[in-house]
Structures are given as C-alpha cells and as structure tokens.
Structure 1
Amino acid sequence: MNLVVAGSGIAGLTAALHAQQSGHSVTLVTKDALGGGCTPLAQGGVAGIYGPGDSPRQHAADTLDAGAGLSDAMAVDVLVGEGSARIAELIARGVAFDRDVNGTLLLGREAAHSHARIVHAGGDATGAEISRALIAQVHDRGIDIVEHAFLLDLLIEHGAVRGVRMLHHGVTLDITADAVILATGGGGQLYQHTTNPLGATGDGIAAAIRAGAAVADLEFVQFHPTVLAAGGSFLISEAVRGEGATLIDDRGRRFVFDSHPDGEMAPRDVVAGAIARQAGLQRSPVRLDATMIGAARLTQRFPTIDRSTRERGFDWAREPIPVTPAAHYLMGGIRTDLDGRTSIPGLFAVGETACTRVHGANRLASNSLLEAAVFAARAAAAAAVPAHSIPLRSQFTSLKPANSDTNCDRSGGFAHSRGLLQELMWDRVGLVRTPDGLAEALTSIRSWAAAAPAPASVADYETANLLTVAEAAASAALARTESVGAHQLSREPALIGA
C-alpha cells in the first residue's frame, strides 16, 4: 500500500522506516529540509534503560505521577513495555549513545524520575545524533523524500483520508495515499517565549481539526523551567539539575523547596510555577547555580550548553545564570488509540502531533523521544490494516481550507499578526491562567480568525494554523475549571520573569 508520512523528526523517520521495511511504498514529506524541526534540538535523552532496582513498573509509576492522574494507564504500559526495544533499535540503526570505558550505556537521571534510566548522546546532543542516524537510514533505504513541502490540508474522500495537499516550491501538489501518518510536531510558536523552532506552527493539528478529527488535552502545554533569560530562548537541560545544579533566588536561597519536597527535581509544572512566582515577587529572573559541578564536568557532560552559554557572555562554571520558563512541549494533540489511529479512517498521528494520553497533564522528562519511537512503530504496523477509525467526536472546528494558489516565501500577508497572537497566548493562556483571561483570549482569537484574509504566503498559512490551534487550546483551557498539571488557574495574573 501507499503511505504518506508528513514530518521528519524521530516520529516521522521511525514511522517511514518501519512502513518501508514492511513492504509499503512510502513518501516522506517534510516542511523544511531533513534535519529540521524539534528533534535535532533535543538536549535531553531517552528514558527506558533500567539498572539495578529499577523496572518498567517503576518507570510507569513515575510517568503516572508526573501526569497528575490524567495519563492513560494502558498507553503508559505500552510505552514502558516497548521502550527498551525501541532504544535497542535506535542503537542498531547507528545512534551512538554515550557509554563508559567498558562500553556500558551511561544512565542519567532527570526530575521526577526515581532512578537513573535515561540514555544520552554527545552529552547534551541526543536529538541531533538520533536525527543524523535515522536520516542516514532513510537515505540508505531509498525512501522517497519531498523536502520544503508545506502541508496545506488533508485530502478527504467518502469520510476517509486519501492523501495530502502540499505547497511545494509555489505549486500546489496533491499526493494520494492509502493512509497518512502525521508527525508534524507541536505548536510552540503559539507563544511569545518558546524553545521550539520557527516551524513549530501546529500545521498537522490544524489540518486535522479542519478535517474534523478529534483533538484532546490541548490545554496542557509544558513550560520548560530553565531557559536562559538572555540572548534568545536557549534551553538549559533538566539534566543539569540532575547533575546537582540548584535554583536560587536573589538571596541565594533554594526556593523550590517551598513548593515541593523534591525541590529542583520536582515535576516540571511544579518547578516552572515556582520559578514564575519567585521571579514575579523579586521582579527579576531567578538563577541556576551549576558552579558546584565544576568547569571540567560541565564541559564534558554538557558541551552544547557550555559553548552556548559562553557565547552569550556567561561563565556558568563560575557564576549562576538567569533562567525563566518557556513554552516547550504540547501534551495534547490529535487524539489517537494505542496504534496511532485517529477518529478519521486512514489518518494516523504520532509524536508531539498526537495525543496518546501517555503524558497526561504534565510530561515526564525524556519520555517524548521514547513515545515518538514507540508509537510511530505501532502506527506503521497498524497502517497496513484496512482503514477504520476510533470512535471519537471532534470537539473543535475552525478555519476552512484556504485558497492554496500562492508562493512559498515567508513574507507579506497578515503574518505580522502572529506576534499579537503569541503575546496574547503568553499572557492569557500561558503558565498561569485566569477564567476571565481565557475568555478574553478566546474572543480575540475568534475575532482575528474571522477577519483574517486569505493566506498569501507560507507565513500566512502558518499564522492561520496557529489561530486554529490557539482557538482549540483556549477553548479546552476555559472548559477545564480545575487546576491540574500544566493547567494552572489563578484569580490573579502571574508575573513571569521572562
């Protein structure tokens, strides 16, 4: 059968390789060149290798705890049950995870994990190494690749997906298929401050919403606690805290213990919230103190971060550095079953584009790359089964498919409004929310969407997609009336030291 895989991060590359190895004809389409997206930027590792005293059961318990009671237990069991096999597969495909002098995999620990079970590559360059190895495999296998192809919409026939409509070098291109696997990433560009690249504009999620697919948990946006508060949104890996770094206020006090007994190693939503509150109180960024780790160890274990902080004028081996939260990961997405099936026959979703409900209300560190690999392999296998869907009802509708007769530059049109949307989302649908603020945001988003002209560039299409996903996210946040995980409600707006 013919499959189209949209996206070339770990989820898309894994799905394409598994589908091709099963004998299917695979076309891999990607928004930019191979090697773009979020995967190459991932500093953290892949959870799922268990040492003495650890087990998949313990990993599942940590995942469920971090998810604040909203993770799907069956999905979590799949994740931890198949995780080690997927890591072994990555090694077989050429991923060079870090090892000690005896050749044993080095295991790291990050926040909310009860054991050291995370493998890394290049110290803090895991995503880049995974991307390199999988891209090499895709080329070696002769999989058809279409680069610089922007996803406009899904092709629907008799209620089922029959391909994709792309914009490729200014020309509208329809690619028909027996099944489509969306692996287009999340929507970090919804926010004024994000760790995500410019291309993370929710394109696959928006296309699925327009096609009538069910989405879920879009109110749960994870804000990474420690992003350098100077020189752009450069992420400081959670593994730095796993090595012993601490978070301190302007008096040098480790303030996170006021919010959780695990302090800096508490779940991300707790740590990010504590940082935001403290930064608001002192009206300046909090600081990450890694000086106790030592210059030699920082350079060896975190070469990318060490180089980047120094390029920005900080010597983190000698003095604490200012940090702030930033939008990092979308726990929600297109609702799927355990095999990546969506509510539309023939449509599958994997990676950050999908909502398997593994992450619940708050993702456990280093589970995202694992989830992408595990469920991408399952989706590729399930795509061979005759098309059917899971019984889910779409909760949101938004922009209708726009005229796709345009060119492929990122200038002109109404892209200037993206900054207003990002500011609105940061202020009203961000780390801390209020019911009134959410209602105001939803009204503004709907007004902007209704008034938006037909897109005239790729940037315009991206902004339209962000408006679609923003409407769904704000609607979901307004509907959830209790604080849980990454969805924190307050009667007063928070001051975030960004």
Structure 2
Amino acid sequence: MKKTHHHDVLVVGSGAAGMTVALQLADKYRIALLSKSALKSGSTWYAQGGIAAVFDNEDSIESHVQDTLIAGAGLCHEDTVRYTVEQGPEAIRWLVQQGVKFTLNSDNDDYHLTQEGGHSHRRILHTADATGREVSSSLADQVLQHPSIDVYEDHTVVDLITQADSNSSRVRCTGAYVLDDGNDCVCVFQAKVVVLATGGASKAYLYTTNPDGASGDGIAVAWRRGCRVANMEFNQFHPTCLYHPSAKAFLITEALRGEGAQLKLPNGERFMDKFHPSGELAPRDIVARAIDHEMKRLGSDCLFLDISHRSEEFLESHFPTIKAKCLSYGIDITREPIPVVPAAHYTCGGIMVNKSGQTDLWNLYAIGETAFTGLHGANRMASNSLVECVVYGQAAAQAIRDSIENIDEPEPARAWDESRVTHSDEDVVISHNWDELRRFMWDYVGIVRTRKRLERAHHRVKLLQKEIQEYYTNYKISRDLLELRNLVLVADLIIRSAEQRTESRGLHYTLDYPKTSDIAKDTIMVPINFAAQNVIVRKN
C-alpha cells in the first residue's frame, strides 16, 4: 500500500468548490481530490433551493448586490459582494458546460427562476428541488472521467504539513497527513499547493440540516497551522427543517416560501407579519428567530409550513423530492402543513482569505463554506453559497495557474508516527463527548444567546478540549476522533467570537446587547502561531 502520494495540487473536499477548482486545473496539472466519504456525500449534494444569479431582464447586478448587503446586516465586504455577483452569470454558464441541467420555463427556453428570502427579484436558478444533487452529480461525472484527477474516497485530513520556503522568509504548506479509512492508516499527501474545500461546521449543533461530515475540518487544521479566522459567531440557522422523530437533517427549502408557503402556529394562525413586513420572505435570521420565539412562547415542539393551497400538479413538478420525502413520513403536503423547526445550516465565518482564496499560510487556499471571503456578512442570503463556491473555485484556480510554476517541489515529509499509541477500548468516550458538545452548543450558543450562556459554554468546551486532546495523544486515531477534535476546536472559536461581539447583528442575537452598534466590525481571531509575516489578506 502506498503511504506517500505526490501531486501538483491537493484538494481537500469534494463539494462544488473542491470539484470546481480540480476541474479548472486538471488539464495542466496532476490533482489529488480527497473526499471524506463518497464523492457525492457533501453539503452540495443536499442543497435544494438553487443558485442565485442575475438572468431576469427586470433584475440587475446592482439589485442583487444591494439585497446581499442588506441581508448581511452591515458586515458584508462590498467589493467581495460585487465581484461575486458580477461573476455569477459566468459561473452558471460554466456549470451548464459541465452538464448541469437547470429547470426551464414550460413556455420558452429561459431558466425558471424562483424567489427566496431577502431577494427582491426572482433570480434563483434550480433543478426542481434537488439543485445540489444535480450540480454534485454533474461535476462528479466530469471529475471521474478526467485522467489527471485522482479521487481518494474515505480519506480524512488529519493535519497540514508545512515547510520553510527556500525563496522567502515565509512558511509554506506542502501537503497533509490524511487518514485512509479503508486501510486504517495515515498517509502523506504532498503537493506544491493545497486547497481546503471542506465545508462548514454545523455538526457542532444538536439539530442541523448538514450531513455528518460538516465538522469544520478545514477551519481547524488551518487554525492549528497559524491561519486567522473571522466572524465565527455567525452561524445561520435555517428556519425550516422537517420535524419528525425518524427524519434526520431533512431541509425544507426556502423556495416553498418563495412560492407562497405560509408559516403557521399550531392553531393555524399566521404570525410572520408581526416580525417583518416581508412576512415569510424575510431574511433567514429573522424567520428563524421568529419561529424560535413562538415555539418558546407556546411551549411547542414545532411550528408548521403550509403550502397545501397550491395544486398537487404544481407541487409535484416543483417540489417532487420534498413531496415524496414528507409522504414517506405520512405527511401529505398537498393536504396538510409540514411540521418544522429551525436547525443549524451554514457557517458564515471561516478561514480568512483574499479574493483568490489565498490564506495566511503560503500556498494554502480555502474556498467555499470553510472560507471567510466577506460575502455573507452577518447573515448569508439564500442561494448565494453555491455561486460563491464556483466563483472562488475559479478565482483560486487562476491564482494557482499564475504561481505554481515558480513553486519548488516540497522536501520529503516525515511519515506519520503512531509507534507510541494504542488501540482504545473506550470509544464510548468519543460518542459521549460528541453528544455533550452538540447539546450545550444548541442550548447556550444557539439562535438566542446571553453572556451567562456563553460563559457556561466556554467553561465546558475547555474541559472537553483537554479531555479530547489527551485521548488524541494516547490512542490510535479514527475518523470519529478527528471530527470530534476539530469540532471542539471550532466550537471554542465560535464561543470566543460570540463573547467578543457586544451587540446584536444578523445571526448573532444576544439578550444582553439587543441593539446593533453604529460601527460594523469583523471579529478576527489570531492564533498564537500566526503564519503571515506580510499579511496578504485584506484587513477590515
């Protein structure tokens, strides 16, 4: 079995961002694409709603920019927003070239566009209600057919490898230690350039719409190697996740509300008009907080989303996945409302990068949900995430093409040493710690926060970190242990960032500081081993 792998570019993560950068570079360079489980298992696969881009003649780039800035509650970086929105239509055209088939209007060949919360126009391209599946499948087909892309499924990043750069005083990234689950060993992957596209960290919460792999791996490994992170306190809670004892992390897309679905109390009364003039189409943070407020006020386990007033033919053509999934749990959406609760959905903060996705660590890039570009501000607007994946995947690929020829081959890295660890007979510790972490994050660092709740979370996360690090040091590693180690680190960053923000803004709402400050400022966390000597990332 091969313990060391050599490529030009190592891409960690197989969602839309990772596959985009791999495909953009593969015609000239040898690519290793790591997937924590199956190639089509990341968050992209589960995205239902769609991709936001301007294709309607009555819409405009400026309108999309302004909608995003408003949703971001004053913390979006306008230059990043404008760049992403301007590149959006070209990103869509590239996806179509890769085989993505978006839903068209029945009476012409134009794209069928839906509207979601925060958007002032219909600008959401979609493939029925399974857009992510279509994007993921199409890109995966291209990846698997490409002779220059080596796909490694069931491979989990452990830590990054760094070396001194012979051409400067900088430290550079030259690869990663990676757990090969199938062969139960740790391999060395070396490359001139490493790209982190590992997604977010919503598995830190008890209730989430994300797949099991969303454990903040990229953020954690980058932080441990000296990269700054920003705005980790802004965790987006999707307002409508299916509430059913047998349903695991099934999202009810915002597009339902765009097509007239109404949020209702258990007695059938609508309530969103009391919280925002846009009602059900208010930004996600407002809708999630409203549902949370009403659930707590009434002592209700869930609320309801009702689209039964639309025809069965309309629901079958527009939302076949949701209709079938709900029906499998005995819920007929053509006749009755859907029970819903908010759930952790998206990590708006992440690894600080510039417009090319370059991090503070030389030759290390971060793209997609794991990165902080400044696009989402204090609240991500619906369907802006997938377009960001493609736009920044393309930008990172261009920056890599411009620089890789001048990068020396890395020096051979040391093999992974596990000579002093043993197999654990107490893996139950991992599951217990995982459960404790997710429960106190939900209770204390959720939709509504207080100083006291954050203090409690801070105390408990420190105890968990100590216990998990001791376990990691003494026992043979597993994927579950690596994910827990990364999640507890990212949870600590979330808590510390939330404690620093003494205001309520966007997704961060605290009863101790209910007002929004006149000064909008990013929360930047700097590790002790800060990698950059000449900071290449724009300061706020």
User: 1:435 aligns to what?
Assistant: 451
**Structure-2 change in CA distance of 1:86 and 1:492 (3 Å):** closer
Aligned residues: 478
Q: Given residue 11 of structure 1, which amino acid in structure 2 is its aligned partner?
A: A
Q: Given residue 137 of structure 2, which amino acid in structure 1 is its aligned partner?
A: R
> Could you tell me how far 1:416 is from its partner in structure 2?
2.2
Q: Given residue 172 of structure 1, which amino acid in structure 2 is its aligned partner?
A: V
> Could you tell me how far 1:254 is from its partner in structure 2?
1.8
> Could you tell me how far 1:478 is from its partner in structure 2?
0.6
Please show how residues 28-67 of structure 1 align to structure 2 within 5 Å: 28-67=33-72
CA contact (8 A) 1:408 1:457 kept: no
CA contact (8 A) 1:3 1:180 kept: yes
* Aligned partner of residue 150 in structure 1, secondary structure: strand
* Aligned partner of residue 292 in structure 1, secondary structure: coil
Give TM-score, length-normalised by structure 1: 0.93
CA contact (8 A) 1:410 1:459 kept: no
Q: Given residue 63 of structure 1, which amino acid in structure 2 is its aligned partner?
A: T
Structure 1 distance, partners of 2:429, 2:339, is 37
Q: Given residue 8 of structure 2, which amino acid in structure 1 is its aligned partner?
A: N
Identity level (%): 42
* Aligned partner of residue 295 in structure 2, secondary structure: helix
User: 1:259 aligns to what?
Assistant: 275
User: 2:354 aligns to what?
Assistant: 337
Report which stretch shifted further, 298-307 or 138-147.
138-147
Q: Which runs of 4+ in 1 moved over 4 A?
A: 401-413
1:356 aligns with 2:373: yes
Structure 2 distance, partners of 1:408, 1:318, is 52
Structure 2 distance, partners of 1:406, 1:370, is 45
CA deviations 1:264-305 (Å, max 9, x no partner) are 000000000000001111111221111111222111110110
Structure 2 distance, partners of 1:42, 1:402, is 39
CA deviations 1:245-267 (Å, max 9, x no partner) are 11111332221111110010000
Report which stretch shifted further, 70-79 or 453-462.
453-462
CA contact (8 A) 2:502 2:513 kept: no
* Aligned partner of residue 414 in structure 1, secondary structure: helix
User: 1:190 aligns to what?
Assistant: 204
User: 1:24 aligns to what?
Assistant: 29
1:126 aligns with 2:138: no
Structure 2 distance, partners of 1:132, 1:77, is 29
- Pick one of 132, 138, 150 that aligns with 2:143: 138
CA contact (8 A) 2:173 2:363 kept: yes
Structure 2 distance, partners of 1:215, 1:247, is 36
> Could you tell me how far 1:204 is from its partner in structure 2?
1.1
| RMSD value, Cα | 2.1
CA contact (8 A) 1:410 1:458 kept: no
User: 1:320 aligns to what?
Assistant: 337
User: 1:202 aligns to what?
Assistant: 216
CA contact (8 A) 2:283 2:381 kept: yes
User: 1:294 aligns to what?
Assistant: 311
- Pick one of 479, 483, 487 that aligns with 2:500: 479
Larger Rg: 2
1:247 aligns with 2:263: yes
Structure 1 distance, partners of 2:320, 2:417, is 45
Give TM-score, length-normalised by structure 2: 0.86
- Pick one of 80, 83, 86 that aligns with 2:85: 80
Q: Given residue 346 of structure 2, which amino acid in structure 1 is its aligned partner?
A: Y
Q: Given residue 353 of structure 1, which amino acid in structure 2 is its aligned partner?
A: T
User: 2:482 aligns to what?
Assistant: 461
User: 2:192 aligns to what?
Assistant: 178
* Aligned partner of residue 431 in structure 2, secondary structure: coil
User: 1:270 aligns to what?
Assistant: 286
CA deviations 1:360-412 (Å, max 9, x no partner) are 0100100010000100110111123448xxxxxxxxxxxxx996978999965
Q: Given residue 468 of structure 1, which amino acid in structure 2 is its aligned partner?
A: L
> Could you tell me how far 1:8 is from its partner in structure 2?
0.4
CA deviations 1:280-337 (Å, max 9, x no partner) are 1111122111111122211111011000111111112111121110000000111111
**Structure-2 change in CA distance of 1:193 and 1:410 (3 Å):** farther
CA deviations 1:161-220 (Å, max 9, x no partner) are 011110112111111111100001111110000001111111111111111111011100
**Structure-2 change in CA distance of 1:215 and 1:408 (3 Å):** farther
Report which stretch shifted further, 252-261 or 86-95.
252-261
Please show how residues 275-424 of structure 1 align to structure 2 within 5 Å: 275-284=291-300, 285-386=302-403, 414-424=430-440
* Aligned partner of residue 122 in structure 2, secondary structure: coil
**Structure-2 change in CA distance of 1:174 and 1:433 (3 Å):** same
**Structure-2 change in CA distance of 1:50 and 1:204 (3 Å):** same
CA contact (8 A) 1:44 1:125 kept: yes
